[in-house]
Chains A and B, each alone.
Chain A
Amino acid sequence: MKRENFKRISPFIFEIPKSFRSDMRVPARFYADFELLDGALGDKSLDQLVNTATLPGALKYVLAMPDIHQGYGFPIGGVVATELPDGVISPGGVGYDINCGVRLLGTNLDEEDVAPYLDELATQLQRSCPHGVGRGGNIRLKRNELISLVQQGGKWAQKNGFATAMDLEHTEENGRIDGADGRKVSDRALKRGLEQIGTLGAGNHFIEVDVVEEIFYDKAAERMGLYPGQIVVQIHCGSRGFGHQVCSDYVKQFQQVVHKYGIELPDRELVCAPLSSPEGQNYLAAMSAAANYAFVNRQVLTHLIRQSFEVTLAGKVRDHHVYQIYDIAHNMAKVEKHQLDGREVTVCVHRKGATRAFGPGSPILPDRYRDIGQPVLVPGSMGTASWVLVGTEGSMAQSFGSTCHGAGRTMSRTQAKKTVYGSELRQQLEERGIRIRAGSLRGLAEEAPIAYKDVDRVINVVHGAGIAKKVARIVPVAVVKG
């Protein structure tokens, strides 16, 4: 694929027409500037985007966000809406880490309040929050308890003392997707899920203590309680082995299901079923269970973070309490209603490495955020910056209420490890005042900032295109990684 295959239809939107490939059902659009476009042409991400345009029921256009990078099946940073009742749902279009997402917690602490205790806080967070490959947590569930958990989501966390009412109110879908059914997941998924609640995992997942550096939208920042110099905390993780297994099981099952429904696809990872079919409904129920698992996982980690703040800071600062600003998913398929070309459509929106970004006035938003739009949380690469945004009328009109989810990789993990030593990277970050607590130096090197795009450039595209609005830029002071 080349630059010449794209038509620039606005300063931040490039389009690949439907005529590019005979099996495309709709055009493909990429939110980018020229530099991001040229970068994306360096791997197979845009070919993968074109492949998603072949999905039955794909509506209007398939979309890629500026943080796009190569994935498997769908690109990371892809948004595909299929029109119901005939449109499909694709497990690979959600990905293995179902409801991987980000939570932002606020505090009433200034940077200088925490500075004397930051090393201790970082160490306590690492000690309290289980992390690493396959690492079990402190909660051991029985099978029937896990089934209740995945069906109740956030309510299970509240009943068991891990969540407040405000936590749930400030979580996408209130931390519980309706229709989740623990009977639609395999024994192996349940086994993988039994001991992993309240664990971070490894890879690019992290807990990060940040400082609010700059505010761009006063009203929204005030509503979220954000102000310059404030300490906030981010959590990035998902549904762990439970979600991975749910996706694996249904990708396997759908290899046969596509033949039943006569669906032809350019890549077996894109397998799908009509959402209205029994197979599609079963996957939706299982995916929702995994999504609820992830909401509870981040909620239990929130509880452990609160305990860490208490252990480290109680009696030393005026207020060590931690409150929830918002929690969003960035790997999910959702049934939603949207306005399109003057009519209301019901669609299944796949966001794989993309964030829901509903605009002001949406009835699904909590009262506190309804007139500013949905908070959108965009973690950058480790040691750079992250962003708080809000959804806009533009995201509702252009992108099925969606926007970007991160910085996006540009360099393979192998290349990152050849370029940067984990020990040197940790030293460089610590010289800049960022405390690093990493389970593995190899893993740290894989996540080096040099392996990622410039998150500010990504944000400038979504802000410039009007599919999200800048609220605040935050920078890290302590990072805990698996």
Chain B
Amino acid sequence: MTDPHFEVIEHTADWSIRVMGRDLCLLFAHAAEGMSTLMAGELDALPQDVQRNLALAAFDVEGLLVEWLSELAYWAEMEQIVFSRFDMVEVTPKSLRAVVRGGQAAELHEHIKAVTYHNLEVVHNENGWETTIVFDV
């Protein structure tokens, strides 16, 4: 995993992060890291005793990003499991396969109710891929 490439964007009521990645694999991994950091703070402190193999599909890349993050947020709500390591096996604009590892967080800082489509656009520029995601909290 490379250095984190996300930043928190000010939002009056909810949470928003801007995420960058050289390729789609890194963009998706950084987005997940950003969301996990919002939920649990320091990711290095989390156990890594839970592993899940994920295969997801959507009709476009923005939809796939929402699916991906929603899946991870679901486990945080249901079992307080926060994932901190994201091995992206394959990411295309319409599907992904990944192996994620994490563990139960002692405390959740934020409850992500949902991942929104608000102004969601995954764009390609000279540095790679970039997007800004708004979470309902």
Residues of A near B110 (CB, < 8 A) are 133
Is B95 on the interface with A (CB-CB < 8 A)? no
Per-residue 0/1 for A221-258: is the Cβ within 8 Å of any B Cβ (1 yes, 0 no)? 00000000000000000000100100110011001100
Residues of A near B12 (CB, < 8 A) are 43, 45, 69-70, 409-412
Q: A412 vs B13: C-alpha distance in the bound complex, in angstroms? A: 6
Q: A73-B116, A248-B115, A255-B63 are in contact. List 16 more A-B contacts (CB 8 A).
A: A43-B12, A71-B14, A92-B118, A96-B113, A133-B77, A133-B108, A203-B113, A255-B60, A256-B59, A267-B119, A268-B62, A268-B117, A269-B118, A412-B10, A412-B13, A414-B10
The reply to whether A255 and B59 contact each other, CB–CB distance below 8 Å, is yes
Is chain B's interface secondary structure helix, strand, loop, or mixed overall? loop
Is A179 on the interface with B (CB-CB < 8 A)? no
Residues of B near A251 (CB, < 8 A) are 116-117
A-B contact pairs, 20 of them (CB 8 A): A69-B13, A70-B13, A92-B117, A96-B113, A96-B114, A134-B77, A134-B108, A134-B111, A192-B74, A203-B111, A203-B113, A247-B114, A268-B62, A268-B118, A268-B119, A269-B117, A269-B120, A412-B12, A440-B107, A442-B109
Leading 8 A-B pairs by shortest Cβ distance: A72-B118, A268-B117, A134-B77, A133-B111, A269-B118, A70-B12, A96-B114, A72-B116
User: In chain B, residues 38-72, which have Cβ atoms closer than 8 Å to a Cβ of chain A?
Assistant: 59-60, 62-63, 66-67, 70
User: Given A97-B113, A269-B116: A241 and B77 within 8 A (CB)?
Assistant: yes
Size of the chain B interface, CB-CB below 8 angstroms: 35
Residue from A188, A415, A440 within 8 A of B74 (CB atoms): A188
Is B129 on the interface with A (CB-CB < 8 A)? no
B121 CB to closest chain A CB, in angstroms? 9
User: Given A71-B13, A133-B108, A252-B63: A414 and B117 within 8 A (CB)?
Assistant: no
Per-residue 0/1 for A182-202: is the Cβ within 8 Å of any B Cβ (1 yes, 0 no)? 000000100110000000011
Is B8 on the interface with A (CB-CB < 8 A)? yes
Q: A134 vs B104: C-alpha distance in the bound complex, in angstroms? A: 13
The reply to whether B11 and A203 contact each other, CB–CB distance below 8 Å, is no
Is A95 on the interface with B (CB-CB < 8 A)? yes
B133 CB to closest chain A CB, in angstroms? 10
Is B26 on the interface with A (CB-CB < 8 A)? no
Q: A191 vs B79: C-alpha distance in the bound complex, in angstroms? A: 12
Is A332 on the interface with B (CB-CB < 8 A)? no
Per-residue 0/1 for A95-118: is the Cβ within 8 Å of any B Cβ (1 yes, 0 no)? 111000000000000000000000
Is A334 on the interface with B (CB-CB < 8 A)? no
User: In chain B, residues 95-137, which have Cβ atoms closer than 8 Å to a Cβ of chain A?
Assistant: 107-111, 113-120, 134, 136-137
Is A458 on the interface with B (CB-CB < 8 A)? no
Determine the residue in chain A with the shortest Cβ distance to B119.
A267
User: Given A268-B62, A412-B11: A72 and B111 within 8 A (CB)?
Assistant: no
Residues of B near A70 (CB, < 8 A) are 11-13
Is A286 on the interface with B (CB-CB < 8 A)? no
Is A271 on the interface with B (CB-CB < 8 A)? yes
Residues of A near B136 (CB, < 8 A) are 72, 95-97, 244
**Which of A71, A133, A134 lies at the interface centre, i.e. has the most chain B CB atoms within 10 A of its CB?**
A133
User: In chain A, residues 123-181, which have Cβ atoms closer than 8 Å to a Cβ of chain B?
Assistant: 133-134
Contact residues on A (Cβ < 8 Å of other chain), bracket: 35 or more
Q: A252 vs B66: C-alpha distance in the bound complex, in angstroms? A: 9
A441 CB to closest chain B CB, in angstroms? 11
The reply to whether A409 and B78 contact each other, CB–CB distance below 8 Å, is no
Q: A248 vs B70: C-alpha distance in the bound complex, in angstroms? A: 9
Q: A409 vs B13: C-alpha distance in the bound complex, in angstroms? A: 6
Determine the residue in chain A with the shortest Cβ distance to B80.
A134
Residues of A near B78 (CB, < 8 A) are 134, 191-192, 241
Residues of A near B117 (CB, < 8 A) are 73, 92, 251, 255, 267-269, 271
Is A285 on the interface with B (CB-CB < 8 A)? no
Is B27 on the interface with A (CB-CB < 8 A)? no
Residues of B near A268 (CB, < 8 A) are 62, 117-120
The reply to whether B114 and A203 contact each other, CB–CB distance below 8 Å, is no
Q: A4 vs B105: C-alpha distance in the bound complex, in angstroms? A: 49
Determine the residue in chain A with the shortest Cβ distance to B8.
A414
Residue from B14, B76, B109 within 8 A of A134 (CB atoms): B76
Q: A247 vs B12: C-alpha distance in the bound complex, in angstroms? A: 21
Q: A238 vs B132: C-alpha distance in the bound complex, in angstroms? A: 27
Residues of B near A97 (CB, < 8 A) are 113, 136
Determine the residue in chain A with the shortest Cβ distance to B116.
A72
Q: A256 vs B59: C-alpha distance in the bound complex, in angstroms? A: 9
Q: A45 vs B117: C-alpha distance in the bound complex, in angstroms? A: 16
Determine the residue in chain A with the shortest Cβ distance to B13.
A409
Q: A252 vs B78: C-alpha distance in the bound complex, in angstroms? A: 21
The reply to whether A192 and B116 contact each other, CB–CB distance below 8 Å, is no
Determine the residue in chain A with the shortest Cβ distance to B15.
A413
Q: A69 vs B116: C-alpha distance in the bound complex, in angstroms? A: 17
B105 CB to closest chain A CB, in angstroms? 10
Residues of A near B76 (CB, < 8 A) are 133-134
B69 CB to closest chain A CB, in angstroms? 11
The reply to whether B120 and A201 contact each other, CB–CB distance below 8 Å, is no
Q: A365 vs B111: C-alpha distance in the bound complex, in angstroms? A: 36
The reply to whether B118 and A267 contact each other, CB–CB distance below 8 Å, is yes
Q: A252 vs B113: C-alpha distance in the bound complex, in angstroms? A: 15
User: Given A72-B134, A134-B78, A255-B117: A201 and B111 within 8 A (CB)?
Assistant: yes
